[in-house]
Chains A and B, each alone.
Chain A
Amino acid sequence: MNSSIVISTPPHIKSKRTTKKIMLDVLIALAPAAICGIVYFLLDALILEITCVAFAVLAEFVYFFIAKGGLNVRFANRDTRELAKKIRQLKKQGQPYNEEQKQLTALRAELRKQAFAKSGNVCKKWACQFDFTSVVTGLILALIISPATHWYEAAIGAVFAIVVVKMVFGGTGKNIANPAAVGRVFMMLSFTAMTTYTAAHFGAIDGGTVAAGATYLTGPLKDGNPDAMSLLDLFLGTGLAGCIGETCKLALIVGYLYLVIRRVIKWWQPVLYIGVAGLMSVALNGFDFTLFLPYILSGGLMFGGIFMMTDYVTSPKGLYAQIVYYAVGGILTAVLRQVTPIEVVSFVIVVMNLIVPLLDNFIRRRPFGYVKEKKNKEAEK
């Protein structure tokens, strides 16, 4: 018998899965899209990705540091102040003050040591609780902005996403809307560069700026443009104007498969959202089923559906609430896309995130073997 034995409530074994591992899985799933973005948009994409991730992590660290009292340290206290006063007086009187000076230096050194130790502890705490959520947010934000965005705009967006949307509400798991989506909405409303898109440097149409109109649909196809892009180009994102990570659908599908295999998301969640959005838009355009594929392959629909709608924190928990969430999100996307030329997926995600508490409240899960309360009352009578 030894003292190393601990006691606790059951269960005494736990799964190996941790928040950190889940977030690393998401990062791995995002990697193909990030790499494709760099291949398609070259240096622009690389700079934006690095900026977003770096500023997101930095913003989280700074907020944590300040909130946990890393700055709340003192380099002077009553003793040092009194000693300093005494020294000043002695100086004035022209008396020797070496002894006091020595004492003061020692006291100050001690205080400084304590202050640094306190700040250091806060830093250590941050390193312990760091779970890659800010990296994921930063990378997602980088992948859903236009490559024409300036790096400082991206940095402001990342800081806004982390500080205002996530940390102010209490950090990991407490944010009420997807930080990256809100960050993007914020940037879209603030900076004009967000609404200009550069076509991919890779493929049919080289270079060139496509102004206003993010969705491919609102451009050539809807106006009956004969130069409509082929489905393959849409699928691979070659020559397509769009956000950094949203152009190459192949990379997104690879990420989707990885997430499903690792059981981070359920396979039907993005399928439901994207499918409902596609079908709804087909219905809105007079049941023209040739529109289905171009519709779901264009814009940020696929990226949003796979990586942002399925965000754990801001999606409902019960099965039926989830179905409603994805289906209503899909319908909303299709309807809004029909009436506005700007890219709506991030707006839809934010709106859906905000009604999640309502969904969770009103569409409650029924326990196994649930009996309707009315029936219970009858039985009592």
Chain B
Amino acid sequence: MKAVKGSFFFGGVHIRDNKSLSKDASIERLPEPPEVKIAMSQSLGRPAVPCVSAGDKVAKGQLIARGDGAISSDVFASISGEVTGIETLANECGNTDTFVAIRGDGEGREQYLPPLSDPSPEEIVKRVRDAGIVGLGGAGFPTAVKLTPKMKVDTFIINGAECEPYLTRDYRIMKEHTDEVVRGARYMAKALGVENIMIGIELNKPDCIEAFEKYDDIKVVALRKIYPMGGEKQLIYSATKRKVKLGQLPADAGVIVNNAATCLAVCEAVELGKPDCEAILTVSGRSIARPANVCVPVGTPISYIVEQCGGEAEAPKKAVLGGPMTGVAVKSYDLYIKKTSSGVLLLTEKEAAADEPTACLNCGLCADNCPMHLMPMNTAFYSSAGDIDNAVKLGGTMYCIECGVCEYVCPAKRPLIQAIRNTKAAVRAREKGGK
């Protein structure tokens, strides 16, 4: 259907997106790494429990760990080979995690689920759960849980905004796998019993908008190029003019949002029976010799990806997993790709700001640009004084989506996100202590 314009909301900021670095590089499948280490906590919720032990032979797509609880997801072997051990290693968040290490044997054995043709809604939900698919937008919420909402849902939105600078994964997926994305979305809409399928794409991807306009059952919404357009609440408002009320889920507003990459994964799971064991991600930044979009098995070491992309062109100042606005800065390349990884960025000193924070000017730019209409400076001010009550009351901290806009625009370079996270942690700790 012909694209319509998204509705306007206050807040957000224009960021130079630097997508041209990797925009024209099509998704390439890197040669299989000799060894992968697959983290057990691939999604929200508790880590999965390994069901293989050292010495077992596994095939690609074979179940190696079962989800523990409702919002935990299954984990699958991503290459064929032999399990060399179950190890406890550091993960990118600074904690430790259980990893299953698999050494590849190069035989390329595959053990997929049986393909489905013309599945019923129940079959789709079951397949999505069995294939361990999680939301690939970043949070890693298991998709099967999203597909079984408790309330009535009437709209399904594909999130193709990709508002994060540098990342071009969704762009390449939408461009190269348009048909698969649409089919995956149709499967999910069928599972939800929803007719209305929309896709939100930012105006800086005109070729994607054009590609999706060909489908009659997909409503294309052309969104302003502003960060954070891909934030769930902002996207829902732009596409449907519905506001997700504070403390509620999108499903309460009758909307389910899924990332374009998740749609592709669902399509592959239904039609090919392929479990979620590969990640497509963008390797970019001016420190990497060859920016690219790559498809790698889950558990591939970052050092391997950097090496395959030509190594460092110059010494990076920051290495980031995910996008530059919300991703995690890492200190070492000895980390392993997860299902939800969307990018590996090596930023030069020029790109990665490291200015010393100066005194808060009280200018209010953070509040002006906040897409959630909060007052980050109040949070920072009161939390620095240890006054958590006022920080939450006057700053609206608990509604923060941590998009990073406030800190991006701050002329004094104050660490606002740090203050917000500290406040949130303090409130949670107090709630726990109280109960």
Contact = CB atoms under 8 A, between A and B. Distances in A.
Interface of A: 1-2, 4-15, 17-19, 21-22, 129, 131, 171-174, 312-313, 315-319, 361, 364-371
A131 B358 contact: yes
Contact of B367 (A14, A174, A317): A317
B400 to A, nearest CB: 9
B270 interface: no
Contacts of A319: 10
A9 B246 contact: no
B324 A10 contact: yes
Contact of B325 (A10, A17, A172, A313): A10
Interface in B159-183: 165
Contact of B408 (A13, A318, A366): A13
A19 B319 CA distance: 27
Given A10-B329, A129-B359, A368-B243, A17 B373 contact: no
Of A21, A174, A316, A317, chain B has the most CB atoms within 10 Å of the CB of: A317
Contact of A11 (B244, B326, B363): B326
Nearest to A22: B411
B251 to A, nearest CB: 14
Contacts of A131: 358
Contacts of B316: 4-5
Interface in B349-375: 351-355, 358-364, 367-368, 371-375
Interface stretch (B27-35, B143-151, B414-422): B414-422
A313 B360 CA distance: 9
Contact of B315 (A4, A17, A173): A4
Interface in B323-358: 324-333, 345, 347, 351-355, 358
Nearest to A369: B243
Nearest to B402: A10
Contacts of B368: 317
15 contacts: A10-B328, A11-B408, A13-B408, A14-B407, A14-B410, A15-B410, A174-B359, A312-B364, A313-B362, A316-B364, A317-B375, A365-B373, A367-B396, A367-B399, A368-B373
Contacts of B355: 14, 18
B377 interface: yes
By DSSP majority rule, is chain A's interface helix, strand, loop, or mixed? loop
A184 to B, nearest CB: 21
A169 to B, nearest CB: 11
Interface string B400-413: 00101001111111
A1 B335 CA distance: 12
B430 interface: no
Nearest to B398: A367
B399 A9 contact: no
Given A10-B329, A19-B358, A171-B359, A364 B394 contact: yes
B396 A313 contact: no
A317 B329 contact: no
B225 interface: no
Contacts of A369: 233, 243-246, 248
A315 B362 CA distance: 9
A196 to B, nearest CB: 36
A8 B243 contact: no
A318 B11 CA distance: 12
Given A10-B328, A365-B367, 19 more contacts: A1-B303, A4-B315, A5-B316, A5-B318, A7-B331, A10-B326, A11-B324, A11-B408, A13-B352, A14-B355, A15-B410, A17-B411, A312-B363, A312-B364, A318-B367, A365-B396, A366-B373, A368-B371, A369-B248
Contact of B364 (A6, A10, A172, A317): A317
A129 B360 CA distance: 12
A312 to B, nearest CB: 4
Given A19-B412, A365-B373, A367-B373, A13 B233 contact: no
A9 B415 contact: yes
B317 A13 contact: no
B21 interface: no
Interface residues of B, number: 69
Contacts of B319: 5
B411 A21 contact: yes
A371 B243 CA distance: 10
Contacts of B245: 369-371
Contacts of B410: 14-15
Contact of B332 (A1, A129, A316, A371): A1
A131 B394 CA distance: 28
Given A4-B315, A371-B245, A22 B165 contact: no
Contacts of B408: 11, 13-15
A14 B234 CA distance: 22
Contacts of A18: 355, 358, 411-413
A12 B18 CA distance: 14
Contacts of B358: 18-19, 129, 131, 172
A1 B15 CA distance: 29
B359 A172 contact: yes
A167 to B, nearest CB: 12
Contacts of B421: 9
Contacts of B364: 312, 315-317
A274 to B, nearest CB: 21
Interface string B242-281: 0111101000000000000000000000000000000000
B244 to A, nearest CB: 5
A316 B9 CA distance: 21
B243 A19 contact: no
Contacts of A366: 373
A2 B244 contact: no
A156 to B, nearest CB: 26
Given A317-B377, A367-B246, A19 B407 contact: no
A12 B327 contact: yes
Contacts of B248: 369
Given A1-B303, A366-B373, A369-B233, A17 B329 contact: no
Contacts of B413: 14, 18
Of A7, A15, A367, chain B has the most CB atoms within 10 Å of the CB of: A15
B165 A1 contact: no
B320 interface: yes
A6 B318 CA distance: 6
Given A4-B317, A5-B317, A18-B355, A11 B243 contact: no
